Structure 1
Amino acid sequence: MVFESPVERVVPNRLAGERDALMQQLDFHRATLLGKLEGLDEEQLRRPMTASGLSLLGLVKHLAETEHGWFLKIYGGLPEPDLFSTDDQPDEEFRVGPDETADALVGQYLRTCERARAVVAAGGLDDVVTTPSGVEANLRAILVHMIQETARHNGHADIIREAIDGATGD
């Protein structure tokens, strides 16, 4: 069975206000990531494609962990454990285990993004939180960071996808 993205990629409104522009950009890049998985089977999605073992599903898993960390734990202050990483395995969020499926990992990513949207919608762009490293950041900066983080990993997904089947695109 091949992957079909459950989300539609919507081009952001170039006249949107600040909050909407930031959220639309993030949603665009979230959907772009899932679009990179389109048409691939489970083996292709989990296939390690770099010397470090990175795969397309590894990117999805990592971004679910990153969204969870920044929006739910740091900004939202929710006392939740990390989704995948542990103190003794900090890079676990990039590794796809034999029992982890595309449906489960993409489902976790989508649920995490939905929860993040709700937390962001309830907050103000100027709300300030302190990160675990002691640095202060407002919600605006966290949104910009997550846009950058997701877009950067979409570049990795482009390269991985091209190496799998030659597909290229935006």
Structure 2
Amino acid sequence: MVFTSPVERVVPDRLGDERESLTQQLDFHRATLLRKLEGLDGEQLRRPMTASGLSLLGLVKHLAETEHGWFLRIYGGSLEPDLFSTGNDPDADFRVGPDETADALVGQYLLTCERARAVVAAGGLDDVVTTPSGAEANLRAILVHMIQETARHNGHADIIREAIDGATGH
């Protein structure tokens, strides 16, 4: 069975206020990531396409972990453990295990994004938290970082997708 994105990509309002601009940009890039998976089967989605073993599903898994870390743990203060990474394997969030399915990983990503949206909606852009490295960051900076992180990985997804089947411009 081939993947169909469960979300619609909405172009951000270019006249929105600061919060709307930031959150809409992030949602646009979240949806773009899932569009990169459209029409591919499970084997294609999990196929390692770089020397490091990166795959499209690995990008989804990593971004679920990153959203969880920044929005839920660092900003939201949740004591939940990482979703996939461990002290013994900090890069586990990039690798797709043999029993991990596209439905499960995309489902985790969507759930994490939904939870992140709720945390962001309840917060103020000037709220400051301390990161694990000891640096301070406000919610605005975290949103900008996640836009950058997701957009950067969408670039990786572009290249991976083109290498799989030649598709461009998703």
Whole-angstrom CA distance in 1 between matches of 2:160 and 2:24 = 25
SS of 1:137's partner is: strand
Identity %: 88
1:21: how far off? 0.5
**1:125 matched to which residue of 2?**
125
Aligned residues: 170
**1:87 matched to which residue of 2?**
87
SS of 2:141's partner is: helix
1:35-46 correspondence runs (5 A): 35-46=35-46
1:83-162 correspondence runs (5 A): 83-162=83-162
RMSD: 0.4
1:137: how far off? 0.1
| TM-score of the two chains, using structure 1 as the length reference | 1.00
**1:169 matched to which residue of 2?**
169
1:23: how far off? 0.3
Whole-angstrom CA distance in 1 between matches of 2:40 and 2:77 = 37
1:11: how far off? 0.2
Deviations 1:52-91 (CA, angstroms, capped at 9, x unpaired): 0000000000000000000000000011000000000000
Whole-angstrom CA distance in 2 between matches of 1:39 and 1:79 = 37
Whole-angstrom CA distance in 2 between matches of 1:163 and 1:31 = 21
Gaps of 5+ in 2: none
Whole-angstrom CA distance in 2 between matches of 1:12 and 1:125 = 19
Whole-angstrom CA distance in 2 between matches of 1:61 and 1:78 = 19
Whole-angstrom CA distance in 1 between matches of 2:135 and 2:101 = 36
Deviations 1:80-130 (CA, angstroms, capped at 9, x unpaired): 000000000000000000000000000000000000000000000000000
Whole-angstrom CA distance in 1 between matches of 2:136 and 2:24 = 24
